[in-house]
Amino acid sequence: MTRSSRRLVSFVAAATVATTLAACGGGDSGGGGGGGGGSEENEASDVGITEDTIKLGAHYPLTGVAAPGYSEIPTGVQAYFDFVNANGGVNGRQIEFTYRDDAYNPTNTSQIVNQLVLEDEVFAIMGGLGTPTHNAVTDFLNSEGVPDLFVASGSRLWDDPEEKPYTFGWQPDYEIEGKIIGQYVAENFPDAKVGLFLQGDDFGEDGAAGARQFLEDQIVEEQTYVPGNTDVRPQISALQAAGADLVLGFNVPSYTALSQLTALQLGYDPQWFYSNVGSDPALVGALLARFSEGQVSDASLLDGVLTTEYIPGVDTPDNPWTQLWQRAWEESGQEGELTNFRAYGMSQAYTMVQALQSAGQNPTRDDLVAAVEQAGSEWEGPGFAPFRYSEDKHAGYSGMLVSRITGTTAEDLTPVLVTDNGDAEIEELDREATTPPESGVPDEEPIN
């Protein structure tokens, strides 16, 4: 679906809603949907929007191989939505959040997203997790005109406003992360022999493409793994044989643990640099203990590992955003502690509330999309860098910083660095760190 067809759909939908409201006597309220429109009363302005509620849906791997860590994300989302609901909701509406388990299986993802859209009739999908899983449903969501916001994956697939006008990324994409990592390594390890340890899909390919812009002459070996095959000895042995003394890993947490244990068995000790996806110390530590059957009991193997960050983590308890997430988590009454994955979910939920606020009092689905395109680049939230949203770009955060893991904390090694895809330069971000509003709930002006 192209941009022009989406705008046509928006016009037809608005006309239909207006006609229906007039037939039902709804025209006396002094206004209608679209960005607020001056209406003083809530109306059932589109699918999933009633006078009192907003229905949102999502898919996550609550079970299966990808469940560790990632299954905690929706509990964070729910905790923040509960916090917002307790403080009046969005324009007086309560957010109803329904998430279902796809076990990280694209076939399952298609089934449950169909259910969320056609049976549960959600207003929007938010934070759908995973590249192969979510890619299975983007065509369906766009053909149905359902806002597909803030996909939990750094693939560049979500930044395609002409073909997928309803889909938006959220986190920094893997290419710009690869660029920032590549530049850091080139400047700080100019003599390193670099090896690449990559997941064999868009995740690894995009990360490597960004890194190669700066490291092409330093790379001595590239190895990929197939998710599900837990024997990475051939890949790690090949990196060792090639003499790679610095290894960049674009992989999920379980393969961080597997690569660390395999390297330990081989007596291989390069400098490791893992992308943000694979570097959560608490989760990797738990996986190390499980995979080693207790021989490695914590994340000490990660001491000195380099990584990237783009939102505050639980290792910064004095950060105002972390304090807000802690408060929301405690008030939610859910079991367990605040984790980085739950903080990730809360950060996405905060952005979703910004989008709903910006879309106005009685929004349509197309109003929500327009709000992200028109206002999203100006939103201030927990992310270290601004979003890149516009009518021509649906990519998420524009940058991150490089850090070094020490125990369960991380030391910042660079300021926040921002860039874009392709040959765009990498620059230091010139702005103060953001803080949440006193209420903990964003209050965005609706778009005109």
Q: Which residue has the higher pLDDT, 6 or 389?
A: 389
pLDDT digits (tens, 9 = 90+) for 151-209: 999 999 999 999 999 999 999 999 999 999 999 999 999 999 999 999 998 899 999 99
Q: Do 57 and 125 contact (CB within 8 A), yes or no?
A: yes
Mean pLDDT score of the chain: 90
- Given 1.10.274.10, 3.40.50.2300, 2.40.50.140, 3.40.50.1370, which CATH number is that of 3-171+317-384? 3.40.50.2300
pLDDT at 298 over 90: no
Work out the percent of the chain whose per-residue pLDDT is above 70. Answer: 91
pLDDT digits (tens, 9 = 90+) for 132-147: 999 999 999 999 999 9
The model's confidence at residue 331, banded by pLDDT at 50, 70 and 90, is: very high
Report residue 399 CA to chain centroid gap: 13
* Matching fold, domains 3-171+317-384 and 174-309: yes
**CATH architecture of residue range(s) 174-309:** 3-Layer(aba) Sandwich (3.40)
**Stretch 274-295: mean pLDDT, rounded?**
91
**Stretch 360-366: mean pLDDT, rounded?**
97
The model's confidence at residue 9, banded by pLDDT at 50, 70 and 90, is: very low
Give the span between the Cα atoms of 349 and 325, in whole angstroms: 11
The model's confidence at residue 448, banded by pLDDT at 50, 70 and 90, is: low
pLDDT at 128 over 50: yes
Encoded amino acid at 217, one letter: D
Residue (of 266, 347, 268, 374) closest to 35 by Cα position: 374
Q: Please state the domain extents for the chain.
A: 3-171+317-384, 174-309
